[in-house]
Amino acid sequence: MTGTLAAIGAGLAVIGAGYGIGKIGSSAMESIARQPEASGKIQGAMIIAAALIEGVALFGVVVALLQQG
Q: Cα dist. 37→19, 32, 33, 34, 52 in Å?
A: 27, 8, 9, 9, 25
Tell if the pTM clears 0.85, that is, is over it. Answer: no
What is d(CA 59, CA 54) in angstroms, rounded to the nearest whole number? 9
Say if residue 57 is exposed, middle or buried (CB neighbours under 10 Å; 0-12, 13-18, 19+). buried
User: Collapsing DSSP states into helix, strand and coil, what is residue 66?
Assistant: helix
Domain boundaries, the chain: 2-66
Task: State residue 57's pLDDT score.
Answer: 93
- Report how far residue 32's alpha carbon sits from residue 38's, in angstroms, rounded to the nearest whole number: 7
Topology at the third CATH level for domain 2-66: F1FO ATP Synthase (1.20.20)
pLDDT digits (tens, 9 = 90+) for 24-69: 999 999 999 999 999 999 999 999 999 999 999 999 889 888 887 6
